[in-house]
């Protein structure tokens, strides 16, 4: 695996992060409606804890967004080309550290169904299932929770 650094996203990253969302293979087919027209904006990056995983060549390989109130992992994407390289694990570990630094004790995750197993492997606990909310979300979504170790 190439070295990956995680850095705070800046306003200039908005287009690259939007492209990661729009190009995600995890959101094709029945899941495509949820990202249709979605944009990561400079304002969003300013308002939340948004961090990017960057490879040795400077390419953004993935990112996450942690909303502090209420505490939720709002976005988490890894480029299709970086899947299986540990980038997602690195981002989640970083997010958990940032959550602890922010004094959060729990972080909610409403997962895309195919990503649920990943979050469970990372230590999230299942807490329920959210029903569909048409027109964008026509499927049930797993709800999980990370408990933040503050010790």
Chunked into runs of 10 residues, the chain (151 residues) has average pLDDT values of 88 98 92 93 98 95 97 97 95 97 96 96 97 93 93 63
The pLDDT of residue 2 is 64
For the chain, what is the domain count? 1
Domain range enclosing 134: 5-147
Prior bond of 136 cis (ω within 30°): no
For the residues of 38-64, what is the DSSP string, one character each? Answer: ----HHHHHHSEEEEEE-TTS-EEEEE
pTM: 0.95
The pLDDT of residue 8 is 98
The CATH number assigned to the domain holding 20 equals: 3.40.630.30
Task: Read off the DSSP letter of residue 131.
Answer: P
């Amino acid at each position: 695996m190439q070295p990956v650094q995680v850095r705070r996203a800046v306003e200039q990253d908005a287009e690259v992060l939007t492209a990661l969302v729009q190009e995600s293979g995890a959101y094709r087919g029945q899941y495509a409606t949820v990202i249709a027209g979605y944009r990561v904006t400079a304002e969003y990056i300013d308002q939340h804890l948004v961090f990017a995983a960057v490879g040795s060549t400077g390419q953004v390989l993935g990112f996450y967004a942690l909303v502090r109130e209420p505490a939720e992992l709002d976005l988490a994407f890894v480029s299709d080309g970086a899947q299986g390289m540990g980038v997602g694990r690195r981002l989640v570990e970083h997010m958990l550290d940032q959550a602890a630094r922010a004094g959060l004790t729990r972080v909610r995750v409403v997962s895309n169904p195919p990503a649920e197993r990943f979050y469970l492997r990372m230590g999230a606990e299942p807490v329920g299932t959210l029903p569909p909310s048409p027109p964008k979300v026509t499927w049930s979504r797993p709800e999980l929770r990370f408990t933040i170790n503050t010790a």
